[in-house]
Structure 1
Amino acid sequence: MAATNKTELLDITQKEFRKLGKVIGGVDPATATQKDEDDTSIKDVIAHRAHWIDLFIGWHADGQAGKKVHFPAKGYKWNDLKRYNADLRATQADLDWDDAVMFLQARYEKLIDFIETHSDEQLYAEPMKGANNAWPTGRWAEAAGPSHFRSAAKYLRARLKALA
């Protein structure tokens, strides 16, 4: 169930990040960089989740500034996600495991700061500007943060089990 206020959003964001952190803590660099059948590694998933927080914050900023919001990014449509994610993996290929984990930590802190500096009204009173749907800003933040943390933890647990 989606958060409906700032307190719930902060709580779920912190809770899901802690859970993901516990799984990340058990991953060594060699395991983190092993590719699966989809050419994706644990490191790739963690760096991807950090990147999506930046996308969300950029979408919000563009909407607030009255600019066109490109979803998911300029030159891509939602049905291009497979290509977008492959392009992102190529862009992030030089990140090592420690860098990916630090990138995620830094973006988590940026997301927490974003949530803390916005009121319930700013987060939930109306749809996010530029999003062209009914989701309020808080719901977009939840999708970029805790929902992504949850899915990343699920992927990591499954991948670690498959590698064991």
Structure 2
Amino acid sequence: MPATSKTELRAIAEKEFAKLQKLIAPIEESVAMLPDPEADGTTIKDTIAHRAHWITLFLGWYETGQSGQKAEIPAPDYKWSELKRYNADLRASQHDLSWEGAKASLDANHQTLLAMIATLDDDALYGGPMQGGNNKWTTGRWAEAAGPSHYRSAAKYIRARLRALAATA
């Protein structure tokens, strides 16, 4: 069930982030950088870097909307139907990012997300559609999708990937 208040949003963001942090903390770089042949060669590092990036996308959409402009969602020159291409381009642009760099980026962007949430009240988060968001989703719903929901899906993929790696060891 999606959060419906600032308190709930912050709590779920902190909870899901803590679970993801606990999961990835013991993963060594050699494991994090192994391509997954079942997922277009995506690595655990790519998954974490992707989640960090999407937080910055959301924050950009929010800022654009606050300035009275329509955000280009998901990104300039990409449509929702082109997410596979966008994600492949993102992985290519983050190719040289280290495992430590990906984790640091996720941590920093999570803190920025929490700081943004802290500045808004329930009405700003859930009182109506996000300005510039181009749909009926509230700012809080967008924030949840960019943060906690993405943390949950990352953890699910990483657990499955670690199981698959253990099965082949």
TM-score range, shorter-chain basis? over 0.9
TM-score by length of 2: 0.96
Residue in 2 that maps onto 1:24: 24
Q: 4+ runs of 1 displaced by more than 2 Å?
A: none
Q: Hey, what's the Cα distance between the residues in 2 that align with 1:137 and 1:104?
A: 20
1:95 aligns to 2:97 (yes or no) = yes
Residue in 2 that maps onto 1:9: 9
Q: Hey, what's the Cα distance between the residues in 1 that align with 2:68 and 2:42?
A: 36
Residue in 2 that maps onto 1:111: 113
Alpha-carbon displacement from aligned partner over 1:78-134 (angstroms, at most 9, x marks no partner):
000000000000010110000000000000000000101111111000100111211
SS in 2 for 1:131: coil
How far off is 1:3 after superposition? 0.2
Structure-to-structure mapping, 1:4-153, within 5 angstroms: 4-37=4-37, 38-153=40-155
How far off is 1:67 after superposition? 1.7
Unaligned runs of 5+ in 2: none
Q: Hey, what's the Cα distance between the residues in 1 that align with 2:48 and 2:20?
A: 10
How far off is 1:26 after superposition? 2.1
Superposition RMSD in Å: 0.6
How far off is 1:68 after superposition? 2.5
Residue in 2 that maps onto 1:155: 157
Equivalent AA in structure 2 for residue 2 of structure 1:
P
SS in 2 for 1:82: helix
Alpha-carbon displacement from aligned partner over 1:52-74 (angstroms, at most 9, x marks no partner):
00000000000110122111000
Alpha-carbon displacement from aligned partner over 1:122-150 (angstroms, at most 9, x marks no partner):
10001001112111000000000000000
Query: 8 Å contact 2:70–2:133 — kept in the other structure?
Result: no
Identical amino acids, percent of aligned pairs: 59
Unaligned runs of 5+ in 1: none
Equivalent AA in structure 2 for residue 4 of structure 1:
T
Q: Hey, what's the Cα distance between the residues in 2 that align with 1:27 and 1:65?
A: 41
